[in-house]
Amino acid sequence: MNNLQALMDGMAANWQKERAETQMTLGTFMARLLELPHDLKIGNLINPHSYRGYYCDLAFEAGPGEVTVLETHKLCQSCMGKIFTGYKGGEFMMGEATPIWFAEYGSCGTRIVAIKDNGVLETKEDEPEDFE
């Protein structure tokens, strides 16, 4: 059984790496935030959690109002190295290479692919052909 689990873990890591090529990761998101004015107001991201579609990925929900880029960066920093519980169980550590999503807890959502200069998040639907 250990060999099978090792195979599955390796496949999951490879799929996560492929997703990271088509969307922002926690690390690239944080780096982009630091390029923006720290007092720029952007949409309020709340409730970081293990993404329902891929438990090893990280998702954020939309909160009320706006917050500064610096506040969002601090929220992201708090997720680095943190272990989240998957929707149906399992423990998943989030880090620099973790793909990020915009989704309500327990639901699938959209990939975060960019942050525009005005702080607006650019998202994209998860399309199977993106990973072929």
Which tokens go with 45? 């991201």
Report pLDDT for 126: 80
Question: pLDDT, tens digit, for every residue of 90-123?
Answer: 999 999 999 999 999 999 999 999 999 999 999 9
C-alpha–C-alpha distance, residues 77 and 120, integer Å: 20
The pair of structure tokens assigned to 97 is 């290479």
How many structural domains compose the chain? 1
Calpha distance 73→85 (Å, rounded): 22
CA 26 from centroid of its chain's CA atoms: 6
Q: Is the pTM of this model over 0.75?
A: yes
26: domain range?
2-131
pLDDT one-digit tens code per residue, 60-97 = 999 999 999 999 999 999 999 999 999 999 999 999 99
